[in-house]
Amino acid sequence: MTESALLGKSLAELTDWVQDQGQPAYRGKQLHQWLYQKGARSLHEITVFPKQWRAALEDQPIGRSTIAHRSIAPDETRKYLLRLADGEMIETVGIPTAKRLTVCVSSQIGCPMACDFCATGKGGFTRNLEAYEIVDQVLTVAEDFERRVSHVVFMGMGEPLLNREAVVKAVKSLNQDVGIGQRCLTVSTVGIPKQIPLLAEEKLQITLAISLHASNQTLREQLIPSGGGYPLSDLIADCRKYVERTHRRVTFEYILLAGVNDTPDHAEELAQLLRGFQTHVNLIPYNPISEVDYQRPDKNRIEAFQSVLEDAKIAVSIRYSRGLEADAACGQLRVNQTQ
């Protein structure tokens, strides 16, 4: 975890850096290309640089992780356990389809939010990730698939808005340095007071996704302990302002837990909450984790919930998570690996 890692730096920053080393400005462009396109893991590999300079820079960290473990689910989703420079481990997921390669990145090591249904929170929190440690995850998955990454979702371990500055820096680097369109980047949050307006100020064209999971305050606090400090009414009001400010619709994620939040009444209540809003609801049937005994509702129940929202003219889709068999699905990422 060093500030001086070269990854995550912009072309202008890299150009300054090479010039500080007494090198001509064009070496900045070369360095940028080797870091982001050629996947250089050490300056030693950058053969266009003079030998003597490379030798002098031997200890300069670039900021790449190593793959400690990889598992592949039958649906081709790949889950990686990555070892960072300080020995800490994080999980990253690569989700391929014919047209897309989506990377689900972690923004923290562990997570302090302790949502009842999520495996990541059960292991506690270690530290925030640096921007370059987020960018590295995307490069690592691209290299492993030997394919361009088209989409990135900040839905791995951690709460991105507790690490807003590094997340925004990573978003900008993924956009400008790696070349992924802002509209193909999604930041998902459980909602942290004051952070959504601050994110709106960045005027990014990314998608903001809110992990809502409940249609009323009492239920939300039961599932998401931090919800008590950020009433639903304030959260929704901040989201409405976010839409006004960025002209981007907000996505709401709603895990369906059998007998807990999945009745038609809950769906009605949710529809009321989101009325007159430029939004999209993603229903996520619960993925089992060992620590709690929630159940996934059956298909009829899920579809009935969806119909209520559709009747209320709310854009809604059901997201059956990929990678379930490799414990790589939403909510199944954890720091302490047994495999």
DSSP string, 93-162: EEEE-SS-EEEE--SEEE-SS--TT-HHHHT-EEEEPPHHHHHHHHHHHHHHHTS---EEEE-SSS-GGG
Stretch binding ligand SAH (CB under 6 A), from 124-132, 164-172, 197-205, 280-288:
280-288
Contact set for ligand SAH, span 192-221 (CB under 6 A): 211
Query: Site for ligand SAH (CB under 6 A): which residue of 14, 171, 178, 330?
Result: 330
**Considering 111, 118, 184, 330, which one is annotated as catalytic?**
330
Lookup: tokens for 325 = 């068999």
Q: Could you confirm whether 91 is annotated as catalytic?
A: yes
Does 253 bind ligand SAH (CB under 6 A)? Our answer is yes
* CA separation for the pair 42, 35 (Å, rounded): 9
**Considering 91, 130, 159, 253, which one is annotated as catalytic?**
91
* CA separation for the pair 173, 12 (Å, rounded): 12
Using DSSP's 3-state secondary structure scheme, residue 292 falls into coil
CA–centroid distance for 118 within its chain: 15
| Choice between 15 and 279, CB closer to ligand SAH | 279
Does 331 bind ligand SAH (CB under 6 A)? Our answer is yes
Lookup: tokens for 287 = 């993925």
| Choice between 15 and 106, CB closer to ligand SAH | 106
Cβ-in-10-Å burial (0-12, 13-18, 19+) of 161 comes to: buried
Shortest distance in whole angstroms from residue 216 CB to ligand SAH: 17
Does 118 bind ligand SAH (CB under 6 A)? Our answer is yes
| Choice between 5 and 95, CB closer to ligand SAH | 95
CA–centroid distance for 58 within its chain: 32
Q: Residue 233: CB partners within 8 Å, gap ≥ 6?
A: 217
| Choice between 96 and 191, CB closer to ligand SAH | 191
Shortest distance in whole angstroms from residue 255 CB to ligand SAH: 5
Query: Site for ligand SAH (CB under 6 A): which residue of 208, 289, 309, 328?
Result: 289
Shortest distance in whole angstroms from residue 218 CB to ligand SAH: 18
Q: Residue 194: CB partners within 8 Å, gap ≥ 6?
A: none
Here's the x/- map for ligand SAH, 140-179, by CB under 6 A: it reads as ---------------x---x--------------------
Contact set for ligand SAH, span 18-77 (CB under 6 A): none
C-beta separation of 276 from 235 below 8 A: no
Does 128 bind ligand SAH (CB under 6 A)? Our answer is no
Does 326 bind ligand SAH (CB under 6 A)? Our answer is no
The dihedral of CA 3, 8, 10, 14: what is its sign? positive
Please give the C-alpha separations between residue 129 and each of 85, 123, 332, in angstroms, as whole numbers: 11, 16, 19
Does 286 bind ligand SAH (CB under 6 A)? Our answer is yes
Q: Could you confirm whether 269 is annotated as catalytic?
A: no
Query: Site for ligand SAH (CB under 6 A): which residue of 208, 270, 284, 309?
Result: 284
Point out the residues that are catalytic.
Answer: 91, 330
Query: Interface with ligand SAH by CB under 6 A: which residues?
Result: 115, 117-118, 155, 159, 188-190, 211, 253, 255, 284, 286-287, 289, 330-331
